[in-house]
Amino acid sequence: MSVKNLPDQKCQSCDKCPYCEICLPGKSPTSSDLSALNNIIDKRRGLNKGEILYKAGDPLQRLYAIKSGSLKIYSLSQAGDEQITGFSISGEIVGFDAIFEKKHKSFAQALENTAICEIDYAQLSRALYRHQEMNMRFMRLMSQEISVKKELLMMISRETAPQRLASFLLHLSEAQERRNLSPDQIKLTMTRYEIGNCISLSVETISRLFSRLHDAGIITVRGRYITILDQTMLRDVKNGNLCQAAKSENTP
Amino acid sequence: MSVKNLPDQKCQSCDKCPYCEICLPGKSPTSSDLSALNNIIDKRRGLNKGEILYKAGDPLQRLYAIKSGSLKIYSLSQAGDEQITGFSISGEIVGFDAIFEKKHKSFAQALENTAICEIDYAQLSRALYRHQEMNMRFMRLMSQEISVKKELLMMISRETAPQRLASFLLHLSEAQERRNLSPDQIKLTMTRYEIGNCISLSVETISRLFSRLHDAGIITVRGRYITILDQTMLRDVKNGNLCQAAKSENTP
DNA sequence: CGGATCGTTGAAGACTATCAAGTTATGTGG
DNA sequence: CCACATAACTTGATAGTCTTCAACGATCCG
């Protein structure tokens, strides 16, 4: 591979790390929390595209905070094919589902070149009960993940194919906005197959829906580059008000 | 209603409570953890069938440990209809998704007369960082919930209707076994509608599938009373090997 | 015992998956 | 840097699974 590895390096100090407030969002940590953070965050590490961060069954040694890039989180079915349960982007922490049995329950793979912080789990668990603020942050992050998974469940259960894809795009759009990027210019880091797998649709359906949204003038599609032309209409699609099918010609 | 309320009562002491090890499974708590538990667990409380324990939007004041009975956990879609994200039974703690925003994100309703323990959240969060063992127990429980939601997601995404219902029944069966009850005699506490809602199938499909499993000699159905006649065949159905349709007559 | 909720069964139809074939993009090696 | 192999993507035709609509039977509870 001609892709050069991002350099591994020890984090100097979390208060100087520009990603720290991303990893642990909210109020700035107290100084005692900060020194604890410096101890438990081992080092910065670079992942090449396609590299696997952890596998289901691996003993839990670290959690990981994503500084930049993105990961896909997936499990394997009994038949051996993958089921994506979500995509994680910068600012998120992955691996929480490993805490229960002290071994990873999912796979995490880099969708692009990605930078992460390794969080030593043994040190973390010792530190948490001494630092209430940090403790609560981690509880909140886990709580949030539970909510997000319930929302995904709800989306797959209740929404039609066009609604799901619209929801998916709007999620990406909102994520960009939170990071102060344009909410309308989206660079997909995952394949059509991976999108479909995550929201429970076939590749062909994803492709057809992109075309349909394009034809309706709602988005522009150029490979992995999506431009949202009309946020309002996209929201209408999400709400099931539009673009249910291309056969609205006959509606009197 | 002629249903008599279960009496509300203050928990005397968690080490004398026969449900305590259910609420917080694993090794027995240290004595310091025990006294902490006694402080944060407010009181025992009875819920009548149909009673709502908390609603989405309610400020987070307590988590709840289920001592006996069962709850359905659901959200409301924008259109206002319910989406069940799971059923919780004795031994489980509910309300974790409220921690992130300090308000409940779901509804919890008793499916039958149910006894719960109220866990004061403010006291809990203060206690957690002083009691490492208790801290880890709660982290594990939240981690487990993340795993369970991912599994449900996987089941709905990858399995056909018969497979989903088989999975659902096997889950109930395993839950009974863990509680030292017969794994084959199942008393459903939820309606067909609620089962279908949870595993993303229509009422009619659930009904038809029960009939089909009955006709195949795999289960017995008498209203809400299900008897599993053949665990092996039910597992085959879960794995997609059987009962795909009733049209296997023509298979040469 | 009577209304209401819950459950069952049948027929028709919609949505999406699957199969098939072709096009475009990606990236590796010469 | 180009060429080729592979993976990713698009589009059409067909088919299957499950939903929806409808009607009826069962059960629960006041």
Q: Which of A153, A155, A200 to mutate to test the interface with B (most CBs of B within 10 A)?
A: A153
Contact B140 A83 (CB under 8 A): no
What the block records as the tokens of B75 is 């959200």
DSSP secondary structure code for residue A115 in this structure: E
- The pLDDT assigned to A25 comes to 54
A90 CA – D6 C1', rounded, Å: 31
- Which residues of B in 3-32 have their CB below 7 Å from strand D's atoms? 3
Please report, as a single letter, which amino acid is at residue A218.
I
Q: What is the mean pLDDT of residues B159-181?
A: 95
| pLDDT > 50? residue B247 | no
Q: Does B77 touch chain A (CB under 8 A)?
A: yes
Q: Could you tell me the distance in Å between the CA of residue A61 and the C1' of nucleotide D1? A: 46
Whether A153 sits inside 8 A of B149 (CB atoms) is yes
**Residue B204 CA to D23 C1' — how many Å?**
13
* Chain A residue with minimum CA distance to B96: A143
Which positions in chain A touch B75 (Cβ < 8 Å)?
150, 154
Q: B36-50 burial by CB neighbour count: b if 16+ within 10 A, else e? A: bbbebbeebbbbeee
Note whether A129 contacts B126, CB cutoff 8 Å: no
* Residue B248 pLDDT exceeds 50: no
- Nucleotide D8, nearest residue via CA and C1': A191
CA atoms within 13 A on the CB side of B69: 25
**Sequence letter at residue A252:** P
Residues A40 and A120 sit within 8 Å (Cβ to Cβ) = yes
* Ramachandran angles phi, psi of A58, nearest 5°: -60, 140
Dihedral angle computed from the Cα positions of residues B22, B25, B29 and B32, in that order, rounded to the nearest 10 degrees: -70
A191–chain B nearest CA distance, Å: 18
**Inter-chain residue contact A128 with B129, CB threshold 8 Å:** yes
Counting other chains too, the contacts that A86-90 makes at CB distance below 8 Å and 24 or more residues apart are A86/A148, A86/A149, A86/A152, A86/A198, A87/A111, A87/A189, A87/A190, A87/A198, A89/A175, A90/A19, A90/A22, A90/A66, A90/A179
Q: What is the pLDDT of residues B53-81, one digit of tens each?
A: 999 999 999 999 998 899 999 999 988 88
Q: Which residues of chain A neighbour B129 with C-beta distances below 8 Å?
A: 128-132, 135
Pairing of strands B185-187, B225-228: antiparallel
CA distance A211 to chain B (A): 24
Is residue B100 pLDDT above 50, yes or no?
Answer: yes
Coil/strand/helix, residue B36: helix
Task: Identify the pLDDT of residue B109.
Answer: 97
Chain B residues inside the 8 Å CB shell of A152: 153
- For the four alpha carbons of B79, B81, B87 and B91, in that order, the dihedral sign comes to positive
pLDDT tens digits in sequence order for chain A, 252 residues long? 333 344 444 555 666 666 666 666 555 566 666 667 777 776 788 999 999 999 999 999 999 999 889 999 999 998 889 999 999 998 899 999 999 999 999 999 999 999 999 999 998 988 887 888 888 989 999 999 999 999 999 999 999 999 999 999 999 999 999 888 999 999 999 999 999 999 999 999 999 999 999 999 999 999 999 999 999 999 999 999 765 444 333 333
User: How far from the centroid of its chain's Cα atoms is residue A91's Cα?
Assistant: 9
Q: Which of B9, B81, B21 is nearest to B45 (CA)?
A: B9
> In the predicted model, is pLDDT for residue B238 greater than 50?
yes
Asked whether A7 and A46 are in contact (CB, 8 A), the reply is yes
User: Is pLDDT larger for residue B146 or for residue A3?
Assistant: B146
SS3 B114: strand
> Is domain A160-246 in CATH 1.10.10.10, yes or no?
yes
Contact yes or no for A177/A115 (Cβ under 8 A): no
B153–A contact, CB cutoff 8 A:
yes
Least CB-CB distance to B154: which of A75, A96, A135?
A: A75
Would residue A120 be called left, alpha or beta, if left means φ above 0 and alpha means ψ between -120 and 50 degrees?
Answer: beta
d(CA A2, CA A5): 9
Between B90 and A228, residue with greater pLDDT: A228
What are the boundaries of each domain within chain B?
14-154, 160-246
Whether the CB of A128 is below 8 Å from some CB of chain B: the reply is yes
> Which residues are within 7 Å of strand C by their Cβ atom?
A 1-2, 49, 160-162, 196, 200-202, 204-205, 223-224, 244-245; B 191-193, 203-204, 206-208, 210-211, 221, 223-224
Is residue B108 within 8 A of residue B71, CB to CB? The reply is yes
Segment B231-252 mean pLDDT: 69
CA B186 to chain centre: 14
Which of A128, A150, A241 to probe the B interface (max B CBs under 10 A)?
A150
- For chain B, the distance separating the N- and C-terminal CA atoms, rounded to the nearest angstrom, is 58
Q: B83 vs A135: CB contact, 8 Å cut-off? A: no
- Tokens coding A203: 């590749």
Q: Are strands A107-110 and A114-120 parallel, antiparallel or unpaired?
A: unpaired
Query: With an 8 Å Cβ cutoff, is B187 touching chain A?
Result: no
Burial A192-208 (b: 16+ CB within 10 A, else e): bebbbbbbbbeeebbeb
- Sign of the alpha-carbon dihedral angle for A188, A194, A200, A203: positive
Distance CA B51, CA B12 (A): 25
> Which nucleotides of strand C lie within 7 A of protein CB?
6-11, 15-20, 25-28
Residue B245 has pLDDT above 50, yes or no: no
Q: Using alpha carbons only, how large is chain B's radius of gyration in Å? A: 20
Is the CB of residue B213 less than 8 Å from the CB of residue B165? yes
Least confident window among A108-112, A168-172, B37-41, B159-163:
B37-41
Question: For A14-154, CATH number?
Answer: 2.60.120.10
Tell me the pLDDT tens digit for each residue of B186-223: 999 999 999 999 999 999 999 999 999 999 999 999 99
A135 vs B contacts (CB less than 8 Å): 125, 128-129, 135
Q: Is the CB of B200 under 7 A from strand D?
A: yes
| C-beta separation of A83 from A77 below 8 A | yes
Counted residue by residue, chain B has a size of 252
Inter-chain residue contact A145 with B146, CB threshold 8 Å: yes
**A111 phi, psi to nearest 5 deg:** -85, -15
Nearest residue to nucleotide D16, by CA–C1' distance, is B245
The answer to whether residue A147 neighbours chain B at the CB level (below 8 Å) is yes
- Residue B219 is predicted with a pLDDT of 97
Q: In the prediction, which pLDDT does A41 show?
A: 78
**Per-position DSSP letters for A8-42, written without gaps between them:** PEE---TTT-TTHHHHS-SSPPPHHHHHHHHHHEE
Contact A34, A70 (CB under 8 A): no
Chain B residue at shortest CA distance from A80? B158
- Cβ contact (<8 Å) for A136 and B125? yes
pTM of the model: 0.91
Report chain B's mean pLDDT, rounded to a whole number.
86
pLDDT more than 90, % of chain B = 65
| Residue B183 buriedness (CB in 10 A; 0-12 / 13-18 / 19+) | middle
